[in-house]
Amino acid sequence: MDVKQALSCLQADKSVILPGGSDKESRPIFLVTVPQENNTTSQIVIPLRYLISIFSDQTRKLGFTVILDARKGCWKLSRLWIKQTIETFRDQQLKRLIVLKPDGFWDKQRIENCTTQQEAQEVIFVTRSRLNKFVDVSHLPVELGGSLVYDHDKWMENRQRVEEFYIDAEMTVKELEELQQHMIRSRTLRASQVEEAINTSCDMEESTRMLVHNATETGKELVQNIEYENRTRKLSIENIDKVLTPQDTLDTIERIHSVVNEIRQKQQEIETNWSEMERNLVDTKDLNELKKGIVKVTNWILGPAEQLMNTCQKVGYDVTSAEDLRREHEEIELQCWETYGTYAELLHKISVLSKSKNPRPQHKDLISQKEFMDFVCKSFALRMEKRRNILITSLRFFRLVSDYFDQTGEVFDSLVMGSDINDFDAASIKLRQLQENQQFLETLAQEIKREGEKLSDMLSMPIKDSLGQEIKVDYSEDIVNIHDVIDATVARKNIFSDSVELQKLTLQQITLIDRYEKDAKQAIKWLEDILRAMLKDFGHVGCTVYEIQSQKEHHQIFQETAKCTYNYGSQLLNASLQLRHSCKLPIDSHTKIYQNLRKNWHRIHGISQEQMTRLRVSAVFFRSVEEQCNQLRNLREAVATIPIMSLNKKRMKVQQYFEERETLMVEVGRMVRLGRLLRSRLKETLYEEESFFASTPITHKCKDDFLKLCQDSIKNNEIPIETISEKLSEVTQLSEELDQALTSAQQDCIVFSNFAEVNNNNISDMDKNFLHPKFQKTDDQLRSDEEFLTASDSTLQHSRSSSYNTASECEQHFGPWWQHGSDDKRENIEKEKMVLAVGCPPDGKLPLVKEVLKPSPEVPPGKIAREVTETTHFKVQQQHNFGVKSFVLTSEIVKEKNTEGTNREETIRYKTDDGKEVTIRVDKLDRDSPEELLNRMNQVCVNEQGDTWNNYSKYRKVTQHTIKKFMLS
């Protein structure tokens, strides 16, 4: 588009303007006025296109509103401009076209056609009065009845200045681009050409800088003027709040700012290129300096440095010479440090140049020279490093050899030759020191060998100069010297190792002797602790079989522990003795320890055997006594059942039970003697030797402790002693009760035997004998009245050490009672025997055996104060002739022979019909009188019914004879 033509059209004709207002949708308004003359030469297309170009792209997308004022123009021209207006706006930029017609136009047209909005063609025909519907009055110019002030001349002046600014800015940008291209082209020039190009570019840069400054200042001034005029226009309007800055003004200011920013950006790019250009010049100058430095470093290394290295070829023969050679080598390294610094600096600079984004062609020559310098310097540094390693290895080798010889001599003098084998305490310390020194010296010898071989290998390797060429150096003498030193070191190591091994063996034996003897002493202490534990906590005897069994198990553990401890100590002392003989050491202290160990073991063995014997005897005693007591009880209960048997079976059972009693009494006697011996043994200490522990400064204290423990163990046995006494009392009492039961059974057999003999005689003879009795006692009667003795009566006086007397020892006190009497063949004899023996109970049932003979009461615990010398027997029988409610109480007192004789009393008790209890004492003289017996029988019959006694009148004599026999018995 030709801007000048558009501006001239706008200046000449005011048909198309931008008043600065906007419609109610905030779209800019174009005002097109149709002139009165029908001038077809007027153009509105060019002005419209120019005005559209003023706005930004974003504003164009929003669209525009065009007001075409056709009130004064002809309709033909108006239609032409409507068409041109629609065609000028493209891409739907024209959102609304409002055409203003005069009022007469509306009078001639139909109302329907005139008022219809042609939205399809984006054309709206309205009157002036209806224009306010689309555009606010404040956004309409004065010509259309609005309040918006528009100065077309001023607007044209500003647009011309803006367009001039655009032209100047475009020229400035073009010159800046030319300068930038010139600077880019100067990068490939040489150093001399670059300097000339910089001088040329300097003048161009000054001129462009002025242009940039002028353009930016002009843009700022132009923007300020536009903003000032816009503020002035707003102030001239009354409703300033409703007036906004025209959109064309805003877009123009924004474009000016963008043009200014573009110019500044171009200026910054030129400044950057200018800096790069100057840097290229500097880099080009630096390249020459770097090349000179590379040549200097390379020449020094290939010259003086190689000569210095060729003069140093030796490695030394001892510590001093090796130290001197290493010092000389360090001086050569100091001379090379300056060259190394220059070399490092060159590498850094070349590395910086190589990292540039746009490397120059001159860099390739520099890189090749740098690579050659690297090869020369690295080769020389490698040779220096090898030489330095050789000298360091040589110095280390000779120092290790010197240290090894010094250390071996010191160790041999202090630990091999100067050690005292009798010092047991220091033996372990010396052994540890000798082992540490030997290990250290072995490590040192291995390191000497390793360093020597390493040095020899290093001397055998080829050597190259800085250019990589091999140099011939003769190190044969140094290699031979190194091998000689290694051989000498190995020979000294062998001699030293033999001496050290011998000394180590001696010290190990001494250390083992000390350790074994200390462990043996510990074993002795353990034995003493075991002994104290046995006396303190396990020196008593239990009171039951289970407790004793548990004690035996614990005691066996003690015995095994003590035996293992003694064996452990013995083995240690045997080994110590062998080592003492091997080391030729005295055995006095060893003998004392062994005697102490053996002495403690003998004491523990004796005490353990004594305690085990007590436990075993106690277990046998308690178990046997318990079994014997049970047997006595069972036998006593069996004897109690004899009265309910037949006469023959009675005799057989009595004989059988007497035989069992004789056998059992033998065992009982043995257990009684065993119990008495055990009781006396428990009152003694487990060990009675006075000096038990080894004689040491604390012997008296140990002895007192041992005696106290022994006495405490005696006190701990008080309860078992009392328990044994109780068991002895119990078995003695059960024996006496068994004897009493057997005595009663024997008397019953005698009674029933006599009764059977009387039944065989004539009744008349019986009456005669009854009226004229002979009161002479038979042998059996005498034997039953006077010569029956119990187990306690037949106990003989004996010493405390003798055994308990059994029943077989008292056979002379008993007669052949089983020979008296004969078998009773009457019917129902078993029932009559039971009735005669225990009486007939009211309910007619015979009592149990346990009720006939109840067990004896328990003997209170404690010691037996005296033996039983008097026994009282009570026998209760039911008296048939006195009725069911009567009974006979018989008491018999048996005493020793040296006292009064046997006393026997009989009392008859019965109840009368009125419930009164009657007691009758039967004396011996009265029982001898038949008349008295008949009187008593008659008295009993008085209380019974008359027929009852008459029915038994024919048996009166038999009954009288039987009662007589009972009384005599």
Express each pLDDT in 682-725 by its tens digit.
888 777 654 433 444 444 555 566 667 766 677 778 888 888 88
Q: Which two tokens stand for residue 862?
A: 């404690």
How far apart, in whole angstroms, are the C-alpha atoms of residue 643 and residue 744? Answer: 9
- Say which residue, 231 or 672, is predicted with more confidence: 672
Q: Which two tokens stand for residue 154?
A: 């001023």
Q: What's the confidence (pLDDT) of residue 912?
A: 60
How far apart, in whole angstroms, are the C-alpha atoms of residue 141 and residue 14? Answer: 14
Q: DSSP characters for 95-161?
A: EEEEEE--HHHHHHS-HHHHH--BTTTTEEEE-STTGGGTS-GGGSBGGGT--B---HHHHHHHHHH
Q: What's the confidence (pLDDT) of residue 789?
A: 35
Count other C-beta atoms under 10 Å from residue 510's C-beta: 25
Q: Are 770 and 960 in contact (CB under 8 A)?
A: yes
pLDDT, tens digit, 9 for 90 and up, residues 300-311: 888 888 888 888
Which strand (E) or helix (H) includes residue 455? Answer: helix 424-460
787 has a pLDDT exceeding 60 = no
Q: What's the confidence (pLDDT) of residue 571?
A: 93
The angle subtended at Cα 349 by Cα 348 and Cα 354, nearest 5°, is 100
Please state the rounded mean pLDDT for residues 302-323: 84
From residue 435, alpha-carbon distances to 296, 305, 505 in Å are 61, 51, 11
Q: Which two tokens stand for residue 634?
A: 């069972």
- Say which residue, 222 or 968, is predicted with more confidence: 222
Partners of 470 in beta bridges: 464
What's the chain's length in residues? 969
Amino acid at site 728: L
Helix axes 476-537, 424-460, angle to 10 degrees: 150
Q: What's the confidence (pLDDT) of residue 947?
A: 47
How far apart, in whole angstroms, are the C-alpha atoms of residue 234 and residue 20? Answer: 11
66 Cβ contact partners less than 8 Å away, ≥ 6 residues apart: 29, 30, 31, 32, 85, 89, 94, 96, 97, 98
Q: Are 644 and 749 in contact (CB under 8 A)?
A: no
Least confident window among 279-293, 716-730, 784-798, 829-843? 784-798
- CA 207 to chain CA centroid, nearest Å: 86
Kindly report the three-state secondary structure assignment for every residue of 562-597. HHHHHHHHHHHHHHHHHHHHHHCCCCHHHHHHHHHH
Coil/strand/helix, residue 470: strand
Q: What's the confidence (pLDDT) of residue 802?
A: 34
Share of the chain above pLDDT 90, in %: 2
Helix axes 956-968, 718-760, angle to 10 degrees: 150
Closest CA to 268 of 190, 208, 222, 328: 208
At residue 227 the predicted structure's pLDDT band, cuts being 50, 70 and 90, is: confident
How far apart, in whole angstroms, are the C-alpha atoms of residue 616 and residue 618? Answer: 5
Please state the rounded mean pLDDT for residues 418-447: 77
From residue 683, alpha-carbon distances to 555, 768, 932 in Å are 20, 70, 63
Q: What's the confidence (pLDDT) of residue 929?
A: 52
How far apart, in whole angstroms, are the C-alpha atoms of residue 267 and residue 586? Answer: 111
Q: Are 686 and 713 in contact (CB under 8 A)?
A: yes
Coil/strand/helix, residue 892: strand
How far apart, in whole angstroms, are the C-alpha atoms of residue 162 and residue 150? Answer: 18
Q: What's the confidence (pLDDT) of residue 526?
A: 92
Partners of 911 in beta bridges: 917
Q: What's the confidence (pLDDT) of residue 566?
A: 92
Q: What's the confidence (pLDDT) of residue 953?
A: 44
Q: Is 694 exposed, middle or buried (0-12, 13-18, 19+ CB in 10 A)?
A: middle
Which strand (E) or helix (H) includes residue 299? Answer: helix 247-300
524 Cβ contact partners less than 8 Å away, ≥ 6 residues apart: 569, 593, 596, 597, 600
Partners of 100 in beta bridges: 69, 126
Q: What's the confidence (pLDDT) of residue 608?
A: 84
How far apart, in whole angstroms, are the C-alpha atoms of residue 812 and residue 808? Answer: 9
Cα separation of the two ends of the chain: 178
Q: What's the confidence (pLDDT) of residue 225?
A: 83
Coil/strand/helix, residue 73: coil
The angle subtended at Cα 666 by Cα 663 and Cα 669, nearest 5°, is 150
Q: Are 527 and 604 in contact (CB under 8 A)?
A: yes
DSSP 826: -
Q: Which two tokens stand for residue 673?
A: 């003697």
Contacts for 443-449 with beta carbons within 8 Å, 24 or more apart? 444/400, 444/403, 444/404, 444/407, 445/404, 445/489, 445/490, 445/493, 447/400, 448/397, 448/400, 448/401, 448/404, 448/486, 448/489, 449/486, 449/489, 449/490
How far apart, in whole angstroms, are the C-alpha atoms of residue 115 and residue 120? Answer: 15
Closest CA to 312 of 297, 298, 337, 331: 331
How far apart, in whole angstroms, are the C-alpha atoms of residue 461 and residue 706? Answer: 84
How far apart, in whole angstroms, are the C-alpha atoms of residue 829 and residue 837? Answer: 12
pLDDT, tens digit, 9 for 90 and up, residues 90-114: 878 888 899 988 765 544 444 334 4
Count other C-beta atoms under 10 Å from residue 836's C-beta: 19
354 has a pLDDT exceeding 70 = yes
- Mean pLDDT, the chain, rounded, equals 73
How far apart, in whole angstroms, are the C-alpha atoms of residue 251 and residue 59? Answer: 8
Q: Which two tokens stand for residue 170?
A: 């475009």
- Say which residue, 191 or 784, is predicted with more confidence: 191
How far apart, in whole angstroms, are the C-alpha atoms of residue 22 and residue 29? Answer: 5
Question: What are the φ and ψ backbone dihedral angles of 732, each rounded to 5 degrees?
Answer: -65, -45
295 has a pLDDT exceeding 80 = yes
At residue 192 the predicted structure's pLDDT band, cuts being 50, 70 and 90, is: low
How far apart, in whole angstroms, are the C-alpha atoms of residue 462 and residue 474? Answer: 10
Question: What are the φ and ψ backbone dihedral angles of 923, each rounded to 5 degrees?
Answer: -90, 165
Closest CA to 863 of 720, 729, 680: 729
At residue 837 the predicted structure's pLDDT band, cuts being 50, 70 and 90, is: very low
Which residue matches tokens 């066996």? 556
Q: Which of 41-55, 612-626, 637-651 reaches the highest mean pLDDT? A: 612-626
Q: What's the confidence (pLDDT) of residue 568?
A: 92
Q: Which two tokens stand for residue 213?
A: 């400054």
Count other C-beta atoms under 10 Å from residue 768's C-beta: 11
How far apart, in whole angstroms, are the C-alpha atoms of residue 25 and residue 691? Answer: 133
Coil/strand/helix, residue 847: coil
Q: What's the confidence (pLDDT) of residue 917?
A: 67
- Report strand pairing: 29-33 vs 64-69: parallel
Q: Which two tokens stand for residue 820?
A: 């008296």
Closest CA to 482 of 462, 464, 460, 455: 455
Q: What is the number of alpha carbons within 13 Å of residue 155 lying toward its C-beta?
A: 20
Q: What's the confidence (pLDDT) of residue 716?
A: 77
How far apart, in whole angstroms, are the C-alpha atoms of residue 568 and residue 575? Answer: 11
Share of the chain above pLDDT 70, in %: 66
pLDDT, tens digit, 9 for 90 and up, residues 137-172: 888 888 888 888 888 888 888 888 888 888 888 888
pLDDT, tens digit, 9 for 90 and up, residues 522-571: 999 998 888 888 887 777 788 888 888 888 888 888 889 989 999 999 99
Q: What's the confidence (pLDDT) of residue 422?
A: 64
Please state the rounded mean pLDDT for residues 472-497: 86
Q: Are 45 and 88 in contact (CB under 8 A)?
A: yes
Q: Which two tokens stand for residue 59?
A: 């504003």
Q: What's the confidence (pLDDT) of residue 800?
A: 33
The angle subtended at Cα 898 by Cα 751 and Cα 860, nearest 5°, is 80
Coil/strand/helix, residue 45: helix
- Say which residue, 164 or 244, is predicted with more confidence: 164
Please state the rounded mean pLDDT for residues 654-669: 85
From residue 966, alpha-carbon distances to 782, 836, 935 in Å are 14, 10, 17
Least confident window among 31-45, 385-399, 840-854? 840-854
Single pTM value for the model: 0.39
